[in-house]
């Protein structure tokens, strides 16, 4: 009896295929396109991270352990290699001028990469003459300047004591001014900040404290400082994005979506042990692009991503 039941379940799962996964999507507010199914674009990577969209709708993402940056073309649905020797980049984000900002983990730096030549320039080599923990995720605000998180994740390719202990006095969030003349901390009371995203009007910043399983909301000041720290939801996140309805997308076990009041409205399961990051791709920004372990996925959306 048990064997027959199990066989039936397995057969039904195989028969339904991706429809079986789609049936598990919890979408209370209709943010996913009608009939859309989660699609695996490609696998065979080691650990995908840092998806970032350019003005053409292409998504650049990293395979961090393999030290590479890839590019996904939404028109052809093809993935091509953009850069080898990427400084073990993790998070990525495009500036308005088209330059790609990368959290280059190899030497605990922040890079600027030319999108045509792939040539890099170090923007932030250190803070107060000490190595950063390892810049992780980035958000560039509309008026210029950028925020990045600096958690500590000891890497096997770091040598000596640097691979075990932080040179900084904690794990913080930093702001780099548009003219690159100022670098300062804007949040020093978090346990392990990771995911970060801001609203398109440049007024609000969300920071996920993955170590404390919380996501916080801040008001952004003209000079880059943050005020009015408010608990957004009781969930941390690896990577984050926003849609045009003000919903916030958090990652970890699949993708969990909260409205602007911090209420959960959707959950998108992803058949991997971990979902690292997410963004909206394609020219119309209605394709959710998901990096998860050794694979990348897409899902057609009704909601639209914001620039």
4, 59, 120, 242 from 306: Cα distances, Å: 49, 14, 26, 7
User: What is the model's pLDDT at position 156?
Assistant: 84
Phi and psi, residue 8, nearest 5°: -65, -40
Residue 258 located in a structural domain: no
Q: Is 60 exposed, middle or buried (0-12, 13-18, 19+ CB in 10 A)?
A: buried
Residue 295 lies in a domain: no
Count how many domains the chain has: 1
Q: 184 lies in a domain?
A: yes
pLDDT number for residue 307: 77
Q: What pLDDT is stored for residue 5 in this prediction?
A: 33
Question: Does some domain include residue 1?
Answer: no
Its pTM stands at: 0.92
Two structure tokens written together for 297: 């996925």
**3-state DSSP assignment of residue 277:** strand
Residue 277 lies in a domain: no
Q: What is the mean pLDDT of each run of 10 residues along the chain (307 residues)?
A: 35 35 79 96 98 97 97 98 97 96 96 97 97 97 96 84 77 97 98 98 98 98 98 98 98 98 98 98 98 98 94
CATH number, domain with residue 88: 2.120.10.30
Please indicate, yes or no, if residue 235 is contained in any of the structural domains.
yes
Position 23 scores a pLDDT of 42
- The answer to whether the beta carbons of residues 270 and 254 sit under 8 Å apart is yes
Token code pair at residue 291:
């990096």
pLDDT of residue 12: 33
- Evaluate whether residue 140 is within a structural domain: yes
Domain of residue 67, residue span: 47-243
Is 42 within a domain?
no
């Amino acid at each position: 009896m048990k064997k027959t039941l199990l066989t039936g379940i397995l057969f039904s799962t195989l028969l339904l295929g991706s429809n079986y996964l789609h049936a598990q999507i919890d979408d209370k507010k209709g943010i996913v396109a009608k009939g859309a199914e989660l699609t695996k674009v490609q696998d065979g990577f080691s650990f995908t991270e840092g998806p970032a969209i350019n003005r053409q709708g292409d998504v650049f993402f990293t395979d961090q352990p393999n030290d590479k940056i890839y590019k996904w073309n939404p028109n052809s649905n093809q993935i091509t290699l953009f850069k080898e020797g990427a400084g073990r980049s993790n998070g990525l984000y495009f500036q308005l001028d088209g330059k790609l900002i990368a959290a280059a983990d190899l030497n605990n730096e922040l890079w600027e990469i030319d999108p045509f030549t792939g040539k890099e320039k170090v923007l932030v080599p250190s803070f107060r003459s000490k190595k950063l923990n390892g810049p992780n995720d980035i958000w560039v605000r509309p008026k210029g300047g950028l925020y990045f998180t600096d958690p500590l994740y000891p890497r096997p390719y770091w040598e000596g004591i640097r691979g075990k202990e932080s040179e900084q006095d904690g794990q913080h969030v930093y702001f780099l001014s548009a003219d690159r003349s100022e670098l300062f901390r804007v949040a020093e009371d978090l346990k392990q900040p990771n995911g970060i995203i801001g609203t398109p009007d440049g007024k609000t910043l969300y920071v996920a404290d993955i170590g404390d399983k919380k996501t916080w909301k801040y008001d952004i000041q003209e000079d880059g400082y943050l005020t009015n720290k408010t608990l957004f939801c009781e969930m941390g996140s690896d990577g984050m994005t926003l849609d045009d309805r003000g919903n916030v997308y958090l990652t970890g076990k699949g993708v969990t979506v909260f409205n602007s009041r911090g209420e959960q409205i959707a959950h998108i399961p992803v058949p991997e042990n971990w979902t690292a990051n997410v963004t909206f791709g394609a020219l119309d920004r209605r394709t959710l692009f998901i990096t998860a372990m050794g694979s990348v996925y897409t899902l057609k959306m009704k909601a639209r991503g914001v620039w």
